[in-house]
Structures are given as structure tokens and as C-alpha cells.
Structure 1
Amino acid sequence: MTVSPVPGVRLRRVTVNGVGLSVATAGQGPAVLLLHGFPHTWRLWTEVIGPLARRYRVIAPDLRGFGDSDRPTDGYDAGTLAADAAGLLEALDAGPAAVVGIDLGTPPAFLLAMRRPGLVRRLVLMESLLGDLPGAEEFLAGGPPWWFGFHAEPGLAETVLAGREEAYIGWFLDRGTLGRGVRPDVRAEFVRAYTGTGALRAAFGAYRAMPTGARQIREAVAGARLTVPALTIGAHPVGRALEHQLRPYADRLTGHVIPDCGHIIPLDRPGALLRLWEPFLDADAEPYGRRADEDALRRDASPTPPSP
């Protein structure tokens, strides 16, 4: 293990399905597995790991192909990423765990709960869509986000962006916080993680595997229901689209939208996010998915500048 730049967090290497994953860990107690998206690494959770680690064992990997994890040539579909997550929980003897997914981490988190419900005690899904399931028509009325097609074209985006990574990644970080930006150290780490043709190609592998992931999700809901207690959290721009997609297939689902919050929820509104997480993740909390005080969420959403 090595010490990370985040107090109390240690980094270790875990080999899962033949792929070496860089994994951040902190705390003790019931496990919470955090699955990031694009353009993130485990540092997406910088502001929430400390509070979580007071009560939970936090496990935050870099997904295969991202950050400091290995970059295999394939395996970026949601089903394989879900298998990686299952293998990680088993390797660390950490299940059943509360599983949290955001952005590209949401489909694998969902498939993990559908395929291996014994490993998942709670499920939190944020700011993403679940393939092409019905319910997101309003969000997609103008077509999917432009970068989906750009990233999905084999060989294109990594060639165009080589040498321009900082500006490109910065655009997503600023847009994902409604212009407020992220801490300079976190921003620099994201840029480092996505610099170079190899890093970009691996990251875009998840976009190129989206058709496979959409099929896997359709197959999952055709044969079973989501029985794990689930919470969806939206912000800008996804809002309630994910909740609408999931509701017909979930036995116990609560949905929230955090006001005045960008797509990168854990860095933009960590306080509001923790207020939603805490009663849900606690196995001894009141009825699962207890609704949070919307006025409190709005108070938490008052803009504050990022730390230097």
C-alpha cells in the first residue's frame, strides 16, 4: 500500500479478471464501493471519502483503462466492468457492499446489482442513463450529448485530442460544476490521467462499448427485477431521466434531484450529496430511501468557491 494525497486514503493494486486495478481505500465498517465516470479517476470522491470513512470501509477503484489501472485492449462494456467490480469485492472480502455509480460507472453498478444481488446491499445511481431503456425521451429530445458520437468513433478522438488534453478535460470539469470548477490539485490529477493517446484510447473504450452495454441492460431487465434498495440522484443535466428509466424495473426506488448542482456531483455539491447518502447507506436507518429535506438541500447548494 502507498499513501495518497488525500488524508486517510491508501492506494493498493488489486488484480481482477487479469487486470491490475489501482484502488483507493479508507476507513472501516460496512463496505461502500464507488465507481467513477469520465473524465474522472478515484479522485472524483476526494471531498466525500473522509466523511464516509468515519463509518464505512470505502473502496474507490480506477476502472479498467482509467487512471492508474491497466489498459487492456477490450473489456470496457458495462457487463465486464460489473464483473471487475464483483471480483474486486470478492478479492477484498468486502461484500455485501453499498455500490455507488456515477456517469460511466452507473451501468456497471446497475448490472452488478442485477447479476450479483448478494454482493450489493444498497445501490446508488447518479447522473447517467441506463442504455436505451424507456424514460429518457425528454432528456434525449435534442439527441445524445455530442461527445458520445465523437468518443465512439474508433481512432478519431484520441488522435484529434493528443496534445490538447488539458483544455478538453478542463471543459468537462467546468461544465460539470456549472462553471465553478474543481480544486487545482484534483484538476491536475484528472488531466494527468487522461494525457496521451493510450490513456485517451482506453477511456473512450467505454463509449465504444455502449451498444453492448445497452443490450446487456435490456437483457437484465427482461429476465429479472432490481430487488436491491436503490436511490437515484440527478443534477444538471440528467435530472430525473435515470429515475424514470429505472422505476418500472425496481422494487424499492427513491429518486432525488440536487438543485443548483452540476453533473460532477461529488465535487460540486459534496455536502448535499452526503445528506442524501447518509440515511440511505446506513443499514440501520429508517425506511430505505427516506426523503431528504429539500430546503436543506437548497441551503447546501449555495455556491462556494473551490479550495485552493
Structure 2
Amino acid sequence: MTPIIPGFDHHHVTVADGVRLHVAVGGSGSPVVLLHGFPQTHLMWRHVAADLAERHTVICPDLRGYGASDKPTDVDGSTYAKRTMAADVVALARALGHDRFALAGHDRGALVAVRTALDHPEAVTHLMSLDVLPTLDMWDVMHGTTAAVGFHLYLMAQPPGLPEQLIGAAPDAFFGHFLDLWTRDAAAIPADVRAAYLKASREAVPSIVADYRASAHIDVEHDRADRDAGNRLTMPVTVLQQDWGSALGFDAAALWRAWAPDLDHRTVSCGHFMAEEDPATVSGALRDLLTR
């Protein structure tokens, strides 16, 4: 049986051009949208979502191309642009009755969240990012042997064909590699949840690759245009990251502050999948953010 977030209802909501997102919704109160990362689904928020649902309406979608959401074919490089995925998020919230909402994202979901906040500042009241850098900064700081940790970024940036073939030949080994490597506490992702992540990813290889490919091309263009124009995140922003910035030779907080003047940057002592390894810290930081 596929794991669920207890007490949450599940829906499929049309957001654009016939694309439907699968979404779990629970609780009541002011809305908070939670966006998952790679190689996961909305399930990564199961602990945080259940906690926040005591005071908030919590909305946990599978991003387009992931989980049980639709996986349209990428025909022009923009289908999985973060700008397109951000529009999905706003359309989803509005379909559920919310014109304004707080937004938190992890990994890939954080990149979507940042783009949502840049493109739709009137909709996003507060923003939280878990364990990434903004797309443009990520590519700027990766160089030399330290870039080996991001080999998958370069693999999936290649033209269509080879990445899909290589990953599709051994999807469980590929996606499982990251679930193992990026987790300090293996018990944080129990066997049934791990199996759900692997199954969902196995069924979404082309769309996951398209998501990453967009981040090496069109997403960079959008970020650079915003940076050149001086566009910034105008809402309160909280960033949680592992202590990897100094190890890789850059100041992660400074990079974020250039985008977010109202920034609370915190370092956490757990693995990449912090919403599963240390949900209490994530929930607490999100509550603090919502009071700003």
C-alpha cells in the first residue's frame, strides 16, 4: 500500500493546458504550500504537513512531471521551466480558493518556489527554501573537482536521448544512489516511503530529466534577466541549509542575501532530506517565518 499523509484528502486539479497536479490537502487556517524535491514526491512533507495542519491549510502537490501528477512531453524546452511550474503552483492555490499563500520548497521544489515568488510576488506572503542555491548561483559556484557532487546536474543537462537512456536502464540504482548518499539517518526514509519514491521516479524519467535540463538552460536565462534587472524577493525569506557552503568554498548566506534582503539563513545539522530527518526543526523555522 502506498503511504499517505494521515488526515489529508487527495485531489487532481487542472492547472494549465490540461495538466493536472495530484495534491494532498489537510488542516484549516491560512494556506501554506509545500513543494517537494528530488527524487521524492509530496510524501517528503508527511511529518511537517501533519504538524502544520493544526493551524494552517496545508497544500502538498506533486510537481508536474513527478509522482501522480501529469507528465507532459517537453517539446520546446519550456514545459519544465521553473516559470511554467511556478504558474502551476499559483493556479493550484487559486483553484483551491487561495490568492495568497506562504510557500516552502525543498531541492527542486525550492527552485520552483523561488521562481514563484519572483514571478508572482503578489501571491507569495512568505518563502522558505531547503538546501539549495538559486539556480544561477548554483552554476556559478560549481567548478573543479568539487563539482563532482553535482554530476547528475551535468548528465541531465545534455540534449534529449542519452540521459534518458542511461537513467532508464537502471532507474532504481540511479535514484536510490541519491536517497542513500544524501541521507545521514537512513531510518528517516522507511522502506515503504523509499519504495514509493523509487516507483514514482522510475515512471517519470523523461520528465525528471526535462526538469533538470531546463535548469541548465531556460531557468538560467530567467534568473540572469532578474538579476540584471535588480529583481529581488520582496517577502520574508528563510533558508535552511546543511553546513556545505564553507566546505565548497563559498558563502551561501551571502549568495542568498543578494536575492532576499529580508533573509533568515540557518545551518542545520542533518542530511539533505531535512524535512524527513529533522522535521521539528523545519516546522519550527517555518512557524518562525510565518510570524515575520
* SS of the residue 1:262 aligns to: coil
- Aligned residues of 1:128 and 1:238 also touching (Cα < 8 A): no
Pairing of 1:93-112 with structure 2 (within 5 A): 93-112=97-116
Question: TM-score, normalising length from structure 2?
Answer: 0.88
Structure 2: tracts of 5 or more residues without a match:
none
Q: 1:237 to 1:174 in 2, by over 3 A?
A: farther
Partner of 1:268: 277
- Aligned residues of 2:83 and 2:119 also touching (Cα < 8 A): no
Q: CA deviation at 1:222?
A: 3.0
Structure 1 runs of 4+ off > 4 angstroms? 236-242
Give the whole-Å Cα distance in 2 for the aligned partners of 1:87 and 1:202.
20
Partner of 2:172: 166
Pairing of 1:1-308 with structure 2 (within 5 A): 5-18=4-17, 19-74=19-74, 75-133=79-137, 137=141, 140=143, 142-143=146-147, 145-153=150-158, 154-162=160-168, 164-178=170-184, 180-181=186-187, 182-196=189-203, 199-210=204-215, 211-223=217-229, 224-235=231-242, 237=244, 242-259=252-269, 261-281=270-290, 285=291, 288=292
Letter in 2 for 1:49: A
* SS of the residue 1:64 aligns to: coil
* SS of the residue 2:52 aligns to: helix
Letter in 2 for 1:185: D
Q: CA deviation at 1:158?
A: 2.6
Letter in 2 for 1:217: D
Q: Deviations over 1:53-111 (max 9, x none)?
A: 11111111111111111111121111111111111111112231110111111222112
Give the whole-Å Cα distance in 1 for the aligned partners of 2:58 and 2:257.
28
- Aligned residues of 2:185 and 2:277 also touching (Cα < 8 A): no
Q: Deviations over 1:164-199 (max 9, x none)?
A: 222222221122212525111110110110124xx1
Q: CA deviation at 1:161?
A: 2.9
* SS of the residue 2:221 aligns to: helix
**What do you get for the CA RMSD once the two structures are aligned?**
2.2
Structure 1: tracts of 5 or more residues without a match:
289-308
Give the whole-Å Cα distance in 2 for the aligned partners of 1:45 and 1:52.
10
Give the whole-Å Cα distance in 2 for the aligned partners of 1:10 and 1:111.
27
Q: 1:233 to 1:15 in 2, by over 3 A?
A: same
* Greater RCO, CA 8 A, separation 6+: 2
Letter in 2 for 1:21: L
Give the whole-Å Cα distance in 1 for the aligned partners of 2:219 and 2:120.
16
Give the whole-Å Cα distance in 2 for the aligned partners of 1:236 and 1:249.
20
- Aligned residues of 1:135 and 1:242 also touching (Cα < 8 A): no
Q: 1:159 to 1:44 in 2, by over 3 A?
A: same
Give the whole-Å Cα distance in 1 for the aligned partners of 2:257 and 2:93.
27
- Aligned residues of 1:110 and 1:123 also touching (Cα < 8 A): yes
Identity over the aligned pairs, expressed in percent? 32
